[in-house]
């Protein structure tokens, strides 16, 4: 269920809204709707409250696609917003996906620029993943090894090989030279399995690649913002 708006200048249905009025009518040039027995005035220019309908705040969202050279796999390197404000961004290809936060953009002249983060798909093991060796002991949430590498850090995720598939076990919350502490208990049945340590996918994940990218932009600021264009630096993938 959606509310859609007709724009007379374009002679077409131009916008989707997330509010659902029970009644709509006009008083002079003022657009009025009714919801749960209350009357609401829209587009109040004297007391503007952006993105708020019936007392509930909604973000503005735009969905589009990057699909140049659609038959070729590409690597998406950067994201650039031409406008007066950065937006939250979700970018998903046929192979990978990532997100961008407003505070991660840097303003360069009239544009907001940032590099794309790593692939946040947890099934992707092309990023910073390393073997930790065979599990030697388990005591509740403490997992023992012959040696724990200095490159294994608190906040890394522990996976154990279950046949040919890595299985997520928990997040490392402490460590020493021969053991790690997880945020949950571990079954002793996992003794003897090969362990993997995985860094944050967003920071150290694989590159954002694919033959197209679906992009969703979201803005929840309580002010009017302008968005002129978006673009990305894209290079051909030779994998």
- Please state, as a whole number, how many other Cβ atoms lie within 10 Å of the Cβ of residue 89: 22
Q: Which helix (H) or strand (E) holds 4?
A: strand 3-7
Q: Same domain, yes or no, for 47 and 151?
A: no
Q: Tell me which residue range forms the domain holding 179.
A: 129-198
Residue 116 sits in the same domain as residue 214 = yes
Rounded CA gap, 147 and 132, in Å? Answer: 8
Average pLDDT over residues 138-162: 95
In this prediction, residue 43 has a pLDDT band, given cuts at 50, 70 and 90, of: confident
Is there a single domain that holds both residue 98 and residue 47? no
**pTM of the entire structure?**
0.76
Report, as an integer, the average pLDDT of 117-134: 88
pLDDT of 15 above 90:
no
Q: Are residues 192 and 160 in the same domain?
A: yes
Residues 152 and 180 occupy one common structural domain: yes
Residue 47 has pLDDT above 80, yes or no: no
CB 52 within 8 A of CB 194: no
- Tell me the C-alpha distance between 205 and 162, whole Å: 22
List the one residue out of 131, 103, 109, 127 whose CA is nearest residue 193: 131
Same domain, yes or no, for 73 and 39?
no
Q: Are residues 192 and 158 in the same domain?
A: yes
Q: 1 falls in which pLDDT band (50, 70, 90)? A: low
Please report, for the domain that includes residue 177, its CATH number: 2.40.10.170
Exposure string over 160-195, b if 16+ CB within 10 A, otherwise e: beeeeebeebbebeebeeebbbbeeebeeebeebeb
Helix (H, G, I), strand (E, B) or coil at 22: coil
Q: Do 51 and 165 share a domain, yes or no?
A: no
The pLDDT of residue 139 is: 96
Angstrom distance (rounded) from CA 199 to CA 155: 8
Question: Taking residues 181-207, what's their average pLDDT?
Answer: 94
User: Which residues lie closer than 8 Å to 58 by C-beta, 6 or more apart?
Assistant: 18, 19, 51, 52, 220
CATH number of 217's domain: 2.60.120
């Amino acid at each position: 269920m959606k509310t859609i708006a007709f724009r007379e200048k374009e002679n077409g249905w131009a916008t989707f809204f997330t509010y659902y009025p029970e009644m709509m009518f006009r008083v002079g040039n003022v657009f009025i709707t009714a919801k749960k027995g209350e009357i609401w005035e829209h587009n109040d220019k004297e007391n503007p409250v952006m993105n708020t309908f019936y007392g509930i705040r909604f973000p503005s969202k735009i969905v589009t696609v990057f699909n140049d050279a659609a038959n070729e796999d590409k690597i998406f390197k950067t994201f650039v917003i031409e406008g007066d404000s950065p937006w939250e961004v979700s970018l998903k290809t046929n192979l990978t996906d990532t997100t961008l936060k407003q505070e991660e953009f840097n303003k360069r002249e009239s544009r907001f620029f940032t590099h794309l983060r790593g692939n946040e798909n947890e099934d992707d093991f092309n990023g910073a993943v390393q073997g930790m060796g065979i599990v030697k002991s388990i005591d509740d949430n403490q997992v023992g090894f012959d040696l724990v590498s200095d490159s294994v850090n608190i906040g890394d995720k522990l996976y154990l090989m279950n046949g040919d598939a890595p299985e997520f076990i928990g997040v490392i919350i402490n460590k020493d030279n021969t053991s790690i502490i997880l945020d949950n208990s571990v079954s002793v049945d996992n003794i003897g399995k090969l362990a993997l340590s995985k860094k944050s996918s967003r920071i150290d994940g694989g590159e954002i690649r694919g033959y197209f990218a679906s992009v969703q932009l979201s803005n929840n600021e309580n002010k009017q913002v302008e968005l002129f264009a978006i673009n990305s630096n894209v290079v051909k993938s030779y994998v």
